[in-house]
Amino acid sequence: MAEPNFSWIYIVIFLAIPLARIIPRLLAKRGIGKNFFPQQFQQQPNQPETHFDEYQQKPAMETTKPKSKNELVLGALNRGSKSFESIQKNTGLDSKDLDVILEDLEKNGLLKVIKKQGMFGPKTELLPTDKGFKEYYS
């Protein structure tokens, strides 16, 4: 007697489910999937108007342009940049200027330098101090 073949279950689990998550993302990225929402989620003509767009357009925090290069670097540090390269990439400063600014921030106690032993050799992390955090957000 032949045993039933249930190999199609593997196709459903390992292929269909991931594709069901990937395809809508690809469609939304290309702008094709805008009309894929069911009718119940779209605005009905007799329902009151929602103001979701107003909440979506307002920024979470008021952003002000940094006044100096020191504040620009301190802002990058407070947003999570920990290495020289990532700070340089986020701020757009050249190496010489950034080096001078980091030394100045360290001298003023707004930045601390932590040297660690990484998997591929020594690693240097740059972290803002509490004083640096308060200085940036005040």
Give pLDDT, residue 7: 80
* 75 assigned to some structural domain: yes
Mean pLDDT, consecutive 10-residue segments, the chain of 138 residues?
Answer: 75 80 82 58 54 53 69 90 91 92 92 89 90 86
* 44 assigned to some structural domain: no
DSSP conformation class of 65: -
Q: Is the dihedral of CA 21, 23, 27, 29 positive or negative?
A: positive
* 38 assigned to some structural domain: no
**Alpha-carbon span 125 to 138, nearest angstrom:** 24
* 89 assigned to some structural domain: yes
Which range marks the domain in which residue 106 is found?
Answer: 69-137
Q: Structural domain tally of the chain?
A: 1
* 74 assigned to some structural domain: yes
CATH number at residue 84: 1.10.10.10
Give pLDDT, residue 29: 80
Say if strands 121-128 and 111-118 run parallel, antiparallel, or are unpaired.
Answer: antiparallel
